[in-house]
Protein backbone atom coordinates (compact mmCIF):
# COMPACT_ATOMS: atom_id res chain seq x y z
CA UNK A 1 0.00 0.00 0.00
CA UNK A 2 1.19 3.51 -0.83
CA UNK A 3 2.73 5.42 2.12
CA UNK A 4 0.47 8.45 1.57
CA UNK A 5 -2.61 6.26 1.49
CA UNK A 6 -1.52 4.66 4.78
CA UNK A 7 -1.09 8.11 6.29
CA UNK A 8 -4.52 9.31 5.11
CA UNK A 9 -6.15 6.16 6.48
CA UNK A 10 -4.27 6.62 9.77
CA UNK A 11 -5.49 10.25 9.95
CA UNK A 12 -9.09 9.16 9.43
CA UNK A 13 -8.72 6.36 11.97
CA UNK A 14 -7.14 8.73 14.50
CA UNK A 15 -10.00 11.19 14.06
CA UNK A 16 -12.62 8.44 14.31
CA UNK A 17 -11.26 6.82 17.47
CA UNK A 18 -10.65 10.20 19.12
CA UNK A 19 -14.17 11.36 18.22
CA UNK A 20 -15.55 8.14 19.69
CA UNK A 21 -13.65 8.63 22.95
CA UNK A 22 -14.49 12.32 23.41
CA UNK A 23 -17.97 12.83 21.94
CA UNK A 24 -19.77 9.51 21.79
CA UNK A 25 -21.14 6.93 24.23
CA UNK A 26 -19.86 4.03 22.17
CA UNK A 27 -21.52 0.74 21.40
CA UNK A 28 -23.52 -0.56 24.36
CA UNK A 29 -22.50 2.67 26.19
CA UNK A 30 -19.02 1.26 26.84
CA UNK A 31 -17.30 4.65 26.44
CA UNK A 32 -19.92 6.37 28.61
CA UNK A 33 -19.29 3.81 31.37
CA UNK A 34 -15.52 4.25 31.09
CA UNK A 35 -15.97 8.04 31.23
CA UNK A 36 -18.05 7.65 34.40
CA UNK A 37 -15.43 5.40 36.00
CA UNK A 38 -12.61 7.77 35.03
CA UNK A 39 -14.58 10.74 36.43
CA UNK A 40 -12.41 13.82 36.93
CA UNK A 41 -9.05 12.06 37.16
CA UNK A 42 -6.34 12.04 34.51
CA UNK A 43 -8.19 9.68 32.19
CA UNK A 44 -11.49 11.51 32.71
CA UNK A 45 -9.90 14.79 31.70
CA UNK A 46 -8.26 13.05 28.76
CA UNK A 47 -11.64 11.79 27.57
CA UNK A 48 -13.07 15.33 27.66
CA UNK A 49 -10.45 16.98 25.44
CA UNK A 50 -10.24 16.17 21.72
CA UNK A 51 -6.75 17.64 21.39
CA UNK A 52 -5.37 15.69 24.36
CA UNK A 53 -6.97 12.42 23.29
CA UNK A 54 -5.79 12.81 19.71
CA UNK A 55 -2.18 12.89 20.91
CA UNK A 56 -2.56 9.53 22.63
CA UNK A 57 -4.56 7.92 19.83
CA UNK A 58 -2.11 9.17 17.20
CA UNK A 59 0.79 7.73 19.22
CA UNK A 60 -0.76 4.29 18.86
CA UNK A 61 -1.51 4.87 15.19
CA UNK A 62 2.12 5.92 14.61
CA UNK A 63 3.33 2.62 15.98
CA UNK A 64 0.80 0.70 13.88
CA UNK A 65 1.94 2.51 10.73
CA UNK A 66 5.40 1.05 11.16
CA UNK A 67 7.14 4.35 10.51
CA UNK A 68 10.91 4.34 10.96
CA UNK A 69 11.88 5.46 14.48
CA UNK A 70 13.53 8.65 13.15
CA UNK A 71 10.10 9.71 11.78
CA UNK A 72 7.98 8.84 14.82
CA UNK A 73 7.69 12.35 16.26
CA UNK A 74 6.74 13.92 12.92
CA UNK A 75 4.21 11.21 12.07
CA UNK A 76 2.77 11.30 15.61
CA UNK A 77 2.26 15.07 15.59
CA UNK A 78 1.12 15.04 11.97
CA UNK A 79 -1.60 12.47 12.68
CA UNK A 80 -2.78 14.38 15.74
CA UNK A 81 -2.72 17.72 13.92
CA UNK A 82 -4.61 16.37 10.93
CA UNK A 83 -7.24 14.82 13.21
CA UNK A 84 -7.62 18.17 14.99
CA UNK A 85 -8.06 19.95 11.65
CA UNK A 86 -10.73 17.43 10.63
CA UNK A 87 -12.46 17.99 13.96
CA UNK A 88 -12.45 21.78 13.49
CA UNK A 89 -13.76 21.51 9.93
CA UNK A 90 -16.57 19.20 10.98
CA UNK A 91 -17.94 21.29 13.85
CA UNK A 92 -20.30 24.24 13.79
CA UNK A 93 -18.57 27.62 14.11
CA UNK A 94 -18.89 29.48 17.39
CA UNK A 95 -21.20 32.48 17.04
CA UNK A 96 -21.06 35.15 19.72
CA UNK A 97 -24.32 37.05 20.03
CA UNK A 98 -25.39 39.93 22.24
CA UNK A 99 -27.72 38.86 25.03
CA UNK A 100 -31.16 40.51 24.92
CA UNK A 101 -31.01 44.26 25.46
CA UNK A 102 -28.02 44.49 27.82
CA UNK A 103 -25.56 47.25 27.13
CA UNK A 104 -21.91 46.40 27.64
CA UNK A 105 -19.61 49.39 27.91
CA UNK A 106 -16.70 47.41 26.47
CA UNK A 107 -18.45 46.48 23.24
CA UNK A 108 -19.13 48.74 20.29
CA UNK A 109 -22.69 49.59 19.45
CA UNK A 110 -24.20 48.07 16.34
CA UNK A 111 -23.70 51.32 14.42
CA UNK A 112 -19.94 50.97 15.01
CA UNK A 113 -19.67 53.87 17.49
CA UNK A 114 -17.84 53.21 20.73
CA UNK A 115 -19.73 53.63 24.00
CA UNK A 116 -18.79 56.17 26.66
CA UNK A 117 -16.70 54.32 29.25
CA UNK A 118 -16.40 57.32 31.61
CA UNK A 119 -20.01 57.14 32.89
CA UNK A 120 -19.30 54.88 35.85
CA UNK A 121 -16.23 54.05 37.87
CA UNK A 122 -16.20 50.66 39.65
CA UNK A 123 -14.23 52.19 42.55
CA UNK A 124 -17.10 54.57 43.31
CA UNK A 125 -15.36 57.69 42.06
CA UNK A 126 -16.60 60.11 39.45
CA UNK A 127 -14.57 58.53 36.67
CA UNK A 128 -12.74 61.79 35.97
CA UNK A 129 -9.18 62.79 36.84
Per-residue pLDDT, 85: 93
Per-residue pLDDT, 129: 46
Per-residue pLDDT, 112: 55
Question: Which pTM value belongs to this model?
Answer: 0.66
Per-residue pLDDT, 111: 63
- Residue 39 half-sphere exposure toward CB, CA atoms < 13 A: 2
pLDDT tens digits along 45-69: 778 889 999 999 999 999 999 888 9
CB 31 within 8 A of CB 20: yes
CB 48 within 8 A of CB 18: no
* 123: three-class secondary structure by DSSP: coil
Dist. CA 67–CA 9, nearest whole Å = 14
Dist. CA 43–CA 55, nearest whole Å = 13
pLDDT along the chain (129 residues), means of 10: 90 94 87 85 82 94 91 95 91 67 59 53 50
Q: What angle do CA 73, 58, 46 make, to 5 degrees?
A: 115
pLDDT tens digits along 77-86: 999 999 999 9
Amino acid sequence: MNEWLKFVIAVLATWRVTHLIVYEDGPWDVIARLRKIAASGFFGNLMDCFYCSSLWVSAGATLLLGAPPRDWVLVWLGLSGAACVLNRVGTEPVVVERLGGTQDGLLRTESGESTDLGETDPSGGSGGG
